Chains A and B, each alone.
Chain A
Amino acid sequence: MPVRIWRKPLDLEKAKPPRGEIHIIKDRCKGCGYCIEYCPRRVLEESDEINKRGVHPPKVEEESKCVVCSFCTAVCPDFAIFVVEKPCEGGC
Chain B
Amino acid sequence: MTQNENLAHPMEVFLRKSRIPHIWCSGCGNGIILHSFIQAVKELEMDSDKIAVISGIGCIGRVAGYVNMDSFHTTHGRAIAFATGVKLANPELTVVVISGDGDLFAIGGNHFIHAARRNIDIKVICANNFNYGMTGGQQGPTTPLEAYTTTSPYGNIEHPFNLVSLAAASGATYVARWTTLHVRRLTASIQKMLQKRGFGFIEVISPCPEIYGRRNKMRTGLEMMNWLKKVSVIENFSDPAKAEVSRDRIIIGEFVDMEKPTFESILYQTIKRVQEGKGR
Contact = CB atoms under 8 A, between A and B. Distances in A.
Given A23-B7, A34-B221, A75 B15 contact: no
B18 interface: no
B126 interface: no
Contacts of A55: 26
B222 A77 contact: no
A30 B25 CA distance: 8
A76 B31 contact: yes
A21 B1 CA distance: 6
B39 A78 contact: no
B15 A79 contact: yes
A84 B36 CA distance: 18
Contacts, number: 82
Nearest to B183: A74
B32 A74 contact: yes
B44 to A, nearest CB: 16
Interface in B1-55: 1-5, 7, 9-12, 15, 20-22, 24-32, 35-36, 39
A79 B12 contact: yes
A41 to B, nearest CB: 15
Residue with the highest number of chain B CB atoms closer than 10 Å, among A25, A37, A75, A76 = A75
Interface string A66-92: 000001011111111010100000000
A49 to B, nearest CB: 12
A22 B2 CA distance: 7
Interface string B82-126: 000000000000000000000000000000000000000000000
B155 to A, nearest CB: 28
B93 to A, nearest CB: 26
Interface in A18-59: 21-26, 28, 30-34, 37-38, 55, 59
A78 B21 contact: yes
A84 B20 CA distance: 21
A33 B221 contact: yes
A74 B12 contact: no
Contacts of A63: 1
Contact of B10 (A26, A37, A77, A82): A82
A37 B225 contact: yes
B164 interface: no
Nearest to A83: B10
A32 B4 contact: no
Contact of B20 (A24, A33, A79): A79
Contacts of B31: 76-79
A24 B11 CA distance: 14
Contacts of A23: 2, 4-5, 7
Given A37-B225, A60-B1, A31 B26 contact: yes
B184 interface: yes
B25 to A, nearest CB: 8
Given A78-B21, A79-B9, 12 more contacts: A21-B1, A23-B2, A28-B20, A30-B25, A32-B26, A34-B27, A55-B26, A60-B1, A74-B187, A75-B183, A79-B11, A80-B9
20 contacts: A23-B4, A23-B7, A26-B2, A28-B20, A28-B21, A30-B26, A31-B26, A32-B221, A34-B221, A60-B1, A71-B184, A74-B35, A74-B183, A74-B187, A75-B183, A77-B24, A77-B31, A77-B32, A78-B22, A79-B12
Interface of A: 21-26, 28, 30-34, 37-38, 55, 59-60, 63, 71, 73-80, 82, 84
